Structure 1
Amino acid sequence: MTNQSIYTTQEIQKRVDQYISQFKEGYFSPLSLMARLTEEVGELAREVNHYHGEKPKKKTEKEKTVEEELGDIIFVLTCFANSLQIDLSEAFEASVSKIETRDKDRWTRK
């Protein structure tokens, strides 16, 4: 990408909220956001399979990238968090702390 911006999770959540807040409809329901997130993860899987798996793209298929699909997932995930008033930094901290404790002796250290 040409834009080398670095965003904190708070900045990402604020930017998404500013975008969504301009529309009367606002955020989709949690169920709709879950469906949309699932759709985006499926699109990521398809791209990973094209670039790293055994299924090459058809000549007629639009060129997309894994990076583009990851960005879409971040956007939808942020919408999901915002719609439920969840701070992504706090959610990440809780998750990674759990993993660091639970899995500290699970893998071979370098």
Structure 2
Amino acid sequence: MGEGRYIQVGVTALRDPKTGEFLPAVPLYIREEDKPMAPTALDMHIIRELAEKYKKARQEMEAEKRRAREELKQAKKRIQILEDMETEERIEAGADMLRAFMAGEIKNLKRRNKG
């Protein structure tokens, strides 16, 4: 690998360009003198900013999920109301038919009783 001391920092597994399958894992090394130093104040500032943006994005995503769940709940309620109205209309139509039938039967009975 060359001169100097090397430290393994991870592994990588490339994909075969023809099949897309993973090739054997290969260790990743850096020279010891190239290893990263402790984070600087600027690094920490950037990390805090990114963490804050991530947190805000997560909160917005959760709020959107809650809104979507509430909209779905309201839509289901509206569907149930429409189904109930349709059922009531059918019941009322059936009752009208029954009343008409009974009125006709009553007229028939009255005719029979007169004759």
Same fold per TM (> 0.5)?
A: no
Identify, as 1 or 2, the structure richer in helix: 2
Q: Of the two structures, which has the highest relative contact order with CA contacts closer than 8 Å and spacing of 6 or more?
A: 1
Larger Rg: 2
The normalised TM-score by structure 1 is 0.25
The normalised TM-score by structure 2 is 0.24
Identify, as 1 or 2, the structure richer in strand: 2
